[in-house]
Structure 1
Amino acid sequence: MSDAGPTVLVLRKGAHGISTTEYADALRERLPDDVTVKRAATPREEREAIAGATVVTGHRISEELVERAEHLRLFACASAGYEHLPLEALRERGAAVTNASGVHGPNIAEHVVGALLAFARDFRRFWRQEERHEWRRGQASELYGSTVTVVGLGAIGSAVVDRLEPFGVETIGVRYTPEKGGPTDEVIGFDEDDFHGALARSDYVVLACPLSETTEGLVGAAELDTLEPHAVLVNVGRGPIVDTDALVSALQGNSIGGAALDVTDPEPLPPGHPLWDLDNAFVTPHSSGHTPKYYARLADILARNWGQIRETGRYEDLENQVA
């Protein structure tokens, strides 16, 4: 550290190329006055500034930048996923690593509830009728009394369950360690019989789990066939959790009621992909987590960790520490 106090460097690009200027501003509001928050405007400035940074934060960091970060003690990853980071290089540098687990809970949960309501109340059909100036009542269904299976009971899945409680739905949670229980009415593991049994009872299935060996391809042709014809699949986890070809086939054949996809495989979804043109598919461009409060929540985590570091003098046992 220099006499001027520690430096926090905010890397230039956020997820999907979004500027991190707002993130830097939020950190300046929350960190003590003796902490300098820098955000380099160019790659060259970034390479120069990282040499004196105690804390670096952003969605990703290259091994080249880690090598230049001579005083680095903490890399605060601005995304929940951290497998893409050069963890070995960070470990050799002696830097702790935290992630952004929890910042997506409220925003993505609202997206999920909105998608469930859109399908339950048939909003998409009514929007199309409005565009045609067509007065035709039809009949929507209700979310009340339905069964919703939520795969993954981390910050996002738990936030979804919390927001569903006032709607009077039954909930089934799926997690790696069902013995831990959870906020749902019932909790099961990934055993095939248990999982298929839950699918068969579900009106809606929400995928809010990370991508892993267990979850990759979790929902394929057999699982989609197990769902009732009215059931709706919502994926806010990762695209490869679902077999895209099997999903397209199920939607085209109306063997399930619909799908709301904030993540896809491939991603970005090519302009000519059939999912774009299906009336029973609702595709959003991996945007459910991006709201004005996203960077404020990130800054809150780093500010709390900085307070702990100041108090203890150690870069250990930090909130969301993953390495």
Structure 2
Amino acid sequence: MSDGDSDGDGDTGGRTEISTETEPSVLVLRKGTHGVPIEEYAAALRDRLPDGSVELARTPAAERKLIRDAEFVTGMVLEEDLLERAENLEVFACAYAGTGHLPMDRLEQRGVTVTNASGVHGPNIGEHVLGSILRFTRRFHVGNRRQRRREWRHYQAHELQGSTVTIVGLGAIGTAVAQRLEPFGVETVGVRYTPEKGGPTDEVIGFDPEAFHEALARTDYLVLACPLTETTRGLIDRDAFVTLDPEAVLVNVARGPVVDTDALLEAVRSNWIRGAALDVTDPEPLPEDHPLWNFENVKITPHNAGHTPKYYDRLAEIVAENARRFAEGDGDGIELQNQVRP
């Protein structure tokens, strides 16, 4: 980020004295998401903090100036050079569910508490997954093709009831998927790191390869809703596709690298699976000349499952509550929603 613009204030000569005010005070950084103006996020916070202060840093210069004294900051990103200017930062409320793009080590060194937007995406991504499953179940893509051709010809479809849906990841999104599947009479299998915690599915297993492949062997719809970690990177590889039934469908709303793209191409070309619905890919964005674009039984959306007109409202509920807790606390031992660190 350029330092060409003046900060507009002088050197404080050290760390500014932390305010003792009890009214919530929030600084909103300028980057928005999903094509929705960041002003709407600031407005949603103001609605929920009528007695507090919500300031929007709308330019790079404003960010550099205002972050110096801010204790509670929220935004999509926080670059390291901006973090270095944040002399009094106590809480960074990340506006994304994932925090891998943040300088987490430096934030930890500084003792900054980090929260995320976990739970904001549950309803909309749950609906996206359900729509993807129903598309393949009732073969709407075949109907669309025949409509384009003005061809009145029956085709065979499938039925969701009685199917087995395996959901990898039982966080807010995986839970929302499981809840939305309940009325359809399906058997659900959840996969999580700590299966002893149970979950919203009929059965919960861990990532043990033997148990995982046993689940894959009886899976009709495989939903990926997990974070990208060392365990999940390349989880759905060639062996996984071979284990899956040829009538199985893959739905990925997690991260592209959870699936081995070369193995997916081989699986689609060789009819090892019935199809795939991909909201995320590896690489991403998917290059225009990539062969995955060319398969009718591969549905690709541009990392769009997370879009919802209610995103900022849901996010503001979490962040405003945390801002109140922070303002009312003494700085130590404050319990915040969605706390990632420390």
TM-score, with structure 2 as normaliser: 0.90
| 1:46-92 superposed Cα distances (whole Å, 9 cap, x missing partner) | 21221232211112101111111122221000111112211233234
**Aligned 8 A contact 1:217 1:240 in 2:** yes
Secondary structure at the residue paired with 1:129?
helix
Residue in structure 2 matched with residue 286 of structure 1 by the alignment: 303
Residues 184/52 of structure 1: CA separation in 2 closer, same or farther (3 Å cut): same
Q: Partners in 1 of 2:20 and 2:162 — Cα distance?
A: 63
Q: Partners in 2 of 1:302 and 1:6 — Cα distance?
A: 11
User: How much does 1:16 deviate?
Assistant: 6.5
Residue in structure 1 matched with residue 12 of structure 2 by the alignment: none
Q: Partners in 2 of 1:17 and 1:47 — Cα distance?
A: 24
Report % sequence identity.
62
User: How much does 1:249 deviate?
Assistant: 1.3
Secondary structure at the residue paired with 1:302?
helix
| 1:79-125 superposed Cα distances (whole Å, 9 cap, x missing partner) | 11112211233234332111111111111111000000000010111
Match of 2:153 among 131, 136, 142: 136
Q: Amino acid of the residue matched to residue 184 of structure 1?
A: T
**Aligned 8 A contact 1:6 1:54 in 2:** no
User: Are residues 1:222 and 2:233 paired?
Assistant: no
**Aligned 8 A contact 1:12 1:19 in 2:** no
Residue in structure 1 matched with residue 9 of structure 2 by the alignment: none
Report the more deviating stretch, 12-21 or 57-66: 12-21
Q: Amino acid of the residue matched to residue 120 of structure 1?
A: T
User: Are residues 1:94 and 2:111 paired?
Assistant: yes
Structure 1, unpaired ranges of 5+: none
User: Are residues 1:22 and 2:22 paired?
Assistant: no
Q: Partners in 1 of 2:312 and 2:192 — Cα distance?
A: 28
Matches within 5 A, 1:1-323: 7-15=25-33, 19-33=37-51, 35-314=52-331, 316-323=334-341
Q: Amino acid of the residue matched to residue 276 of structure 1?
A: W
Residue in structure 1 matched with residue 15 of structure 2 by the alignment: none
Q: Larger % of helix: which?
A: 1
Secondary structure at the residue paired with 1:322?
strand
Q: Amino acid of the residue matched to residue 115 of structure 1?
A: S
Higher-Rg structure is 2
| 1:277-319 superposed Cα distances (whole Å, 9 cap, x missing partner) | 1111001111101111111111000111122223333362211
**Aligned 8 A contact 1:237 1:263 in 2:** yes
Residues 293/16 of structure 1: CA separation in 2 closer, same or farther (3 Å cut): closer
Secondary structure at the residue paired with 2:74?
strand
| 1:168-194 superposed Cα distances (whole Å, 9 cap, x missing partner) | 000011111111111111111111111
Q: Amino acid of the residue matched to residue 140 of structure 2?
A: F
User: How much does 1:9 deviate?
Assistant: 1.8
Report the more deviating stretch, 188-197 or 161-170: 188-197
**Aligned 8 A contact 2:234 2:260 in 1:** yes
Q: Amino acid of the residue matched to residue 26 of structure 1?
A: A
Q: Amino acid of the residue matched to residue 135 of structure 1?
A: W
Residues 85/254 of structure 1: CA separation in 2 closer, same or farther (3 Å cut): same
Structure 2, unpaired ranges of 5+: 1-17
Secondary structure at the residue paired with 2:271?
coil
